[in-house]
Amino acid sequence: MIQVENLTKIYGQHVAVDSINFKVEPGEILGFLGPNGAGKSTTMNILTGYISATGGRALINGIDILEEPEEAKRMIGYLPEFPPLYGDMTVTEYLDFVSDIKNIKGADKKKSMEKIMDLVKISDVRGRLIKNLSKGYKQRVGLAQALIGNPRVLILDEPTVGLDPKQIIEIRNLIKQLGKDHTIILSSHILPEVSAVCERVIIINKGKIVASDTPENLSKGLGNSSKLSLRIAGQEKQVLRAIQELQGVKYAEAQGVREPGTIDVIVEADPNVDIRKPLFNAMSRASYPILMMKSMDMTLEDIFLQVTTQEKEVQ
């Protein structure tokens, strides 16, 4: 649905985007991450046709955004970090105005507006001036304008910035719902949000793509070992001795007592060793019941910091 080929943007002597390549498949929700100044917003502005590229090209459903901007933009809904709202308009007036810009007319316009207002849950404020709405409602109105015309692609830049936790969850659930019918690129600094919503993640740093995969695969690929957090019913010394005797265990470390008669332990295995079954069998033979076992794979924050730090070191 979206294809980026050798995309480059240069401002004077500064290379903002450096020959990047990626694809977004139909119906995919892609997380687009990077530190400030990495080239995220520049890339998204090129994809929406807001600015032109210095080199390379961006295709929306096979249509070059630079060569056929009007045709390509019909397939794009864009929510900037700061939605382009007119405070002195009511919600209905604003969406009517956006519909006119997008050439949605007649009965289709009213039907589309009603459907979108219901979807993003702003029907109850349709008659209110936008300047009097809360931050959460303003963000929903911004999302509503991006949905006018039923575009096949949604590009969302920091869609939950400034929202409270309840509003973040509501917008997150809405994005998941929209992902059933739209291809979505989501840029966010809230990494748990990206991990919860996106099927694949691209991390950009210094204008270059430094990682691209599912959060799960990135965690496995970048982690040099497998870590487990366990709660085991037994005495600390005996439990640790039994674990440390297992082949493939790199180290085992007690984390204290959080439940009477148990010990919490962190176990790290050698690279590419799945220690779970041997660990379970060993504890069973020793009559030390495992009450909790969970993976400690790298979080998206860990991945983000590792790949951007590595890129700095290389440079």
Same domain, 196 and 236: no
Q: What gap in Å lies between CA 169 and CA 75, rounded to an integer? A: 27
Same domain, 69 and 187: yes
Domain hosting 134: range is 2-220
pLDDT of residue 191: 73
Neighbouring C-beta atoms of residue 226, cutoff 10 Å: 21
pLDDT digits (tens, 9 = 90+) for 221-252: 655 557 899 999 999 999 999 999 999 998 89
Residue indicated by tokens 């210094």:
206
Residue 265 lies in a domain: yes
Which stretches of the chain score pLDDT less than 50?
312-315
Same domain, 62 and 118: yes
Neighbouring C-beta atoms of residue 287, cutoff 10 Å: 8
Tally of structural domains, the chain: 2
pLDDT of residue 310: 58
Q: What is the CA radius of gyration of the chain?
A: 25
Is there a contact between 143 and 120 (Cβ–Cβ < 8 Å)?
Answer: yes
Same domain, 159 and 274: no
Percent of the chain residues topping a pLDDT of 70? 93
Paired residues of 227 in beta bridges: 268
Burial class of residue 81, CB neighbours in 10 A (0-12, 13-18, 19+)? middle
Same domain, 203 and 238: no
pTM of the model: 0.74
Is there a contact between 278 and 219 (Cβ–Cβ < 8 Å)?
Answer: no
Residue 312 lies in a domain: no
Residue 315 lies in a domain: no
Same domain, 216 and 231: no
CATH label of the domain that carries residue 75: 3.40.50.300
pLDDT of residue 314: 44
DSSP-assigned states of every residue in 116-128 = HHHHTT-GGGTTS
Helix (H, G, I), strand (E, B) or coil at 287: coil
